[in-house]
Structure 1
């Protein structure tokens, strides 16, 4: 393990139905930095995040993850359909013993994504862009050591996306957690990435 890295993949091989996605992939992601994985659809970006998170197992090689807690913004919003916006975020913060502190955190991140007025709505009452914003707020609010983001700003209009990216960078400056983000958008990569990897 290179201890400058939070995550390191060593000689990783992964295939689906006989088709190689990765063959002897060696890559490391630096601790407390924002790393961006850039590339076209179908090149293995999401598979790479799923390997890092443990959702996908490798066929061969070694994955070293030097932390204990992970937040993940998936491409799909994955909201719990029977919980409100507020409850969806509270679900990830259930370990908090202080309800007031939890409430403050939830309102802080709902303010950032401009959804406080919709906190009592269920997911089916939200537009696609609003669901995406709930998913972003939920992941930001959980103080993980590692944040994985798969096309996190997909479906947001340009003005709102720019605003949330700016707010995200402010949040990141506070806690400097390790972030690995997947995107196909070069502008997002240039704004956010301390280091950019192209697949």
Structure 2
């Protein structure tokens, strides 16, 4: 794989019974760029991310990863309800970092998404937008090379969506990752994508 590619997909196929979702998909995901996978519901966008992450198995083809360290921001926030904001981020770091280093990293990213004063709150005490920002901070705090984002701004009102996209871009510019972002929103795709791959319903 060429040095400037993080992920290469070769003739990737996936079906569910008689329903073909992905049919001979070929993509080169460039390193340190935001690649957007766009298209309507049912075209296989989430399935593609799940196969790249290993959550689902492909039927055939190849997925070549330069590195297996992956962060995944799902459509749902997936915060652990009985852990505080701080503990939710610590949960993905504690096996690799000592306490002092972990505290520095968590503080850094919570400050960047402007949630440091909420670090001891449970998810139930946060708004939907705040939960989304915690999920983004958690994904960046984990030192992965590849960040997968599945409709991360879906369901937010326009003002909040704009705010969270701005915070995401600030994080991305300061701490470059290879990002694969799934969206059905064409304007969002144009705004965020260095490269856009459209998918269609089979």
Structure 1 length as normaliser, TM-score? Answer: 0.91
Q: Aligned residues, how many? A: 198
Determine the structure 1 residue equivalent to 2:24: 24
What is the CA–CA distance in structure 1 between the aligned matches of 2:188 and 2:140, rounded to whole Å?
A: 17
Determine the structure 2 residue equivalent to 1:96: 97
How many Å apart are 1:74 and its aligned residue? 0.6
Distance change (3 Å), C-alpha of 1:111 and 1:174: closer
Aligned runs of 1:67-86 on 2, under 5 Å?
67-86=67-86
Distance change (3 Å), C-alpha of 1:158 and 1:82: same
Deviates more, 1:123-132 or 1:145-154: 123-132
Are 2:136 and 2:168, in contact at CA under 8 Å, matched by a contact in 1? no
What is the CA–CA distance in structure 2 between the aligned matches of 1:86 and 1:31, rounded to whole Å?
A: 30
- Residue deviations 1:100-159, cap 9 Å, x none? 332232223223333223222222333333322221111122121000011112233333
Partner-residue secondary structure (3-state), 1:170:
helix
In structure 2, the gaps of 5 or more residues are none
How many Å apart are 1:88 and its aligned residue? 0.1
In structure 1, the gaps of 5 or more residues are none
Partner-residue secondary structure (3-state), 1:173:
helix
Partner-residue secondary structure (3-state), 1:13:
strand
2:5 is the counterpart of 1:5: yes
2:113 is the counterpart of 1:147: no
Determine the structure 1 residue equivalent to 2:189: 189
Deviates more, 1:21-30 or 1:42-51: 21-30
How many Å apart are 1:51 and its aligned residue? 0.7
Are 1:128 and 1:155, in contact at CA under 8 Å, matched by a contact in 2? no
Aligned runs of 1:167-182 on 2, under 5 Å?
167-182=167-182
Determine the structure 1 residue equivalent to 2:122: 122
Partner-residue secondary structure (3-state), 2:47:
helix
Deviates more, 1:113-122 or 1:23-32: 113-122
What is the CA–CA distance in structure 2 between the aligned matches of 1:117 and 1:4, rounded to whole Å?
A: 39
Distance change (3 Å), C-alpha of 1:143 and 1:197: same
Partner-residue secondary structure (3-state), 1:25:
strand
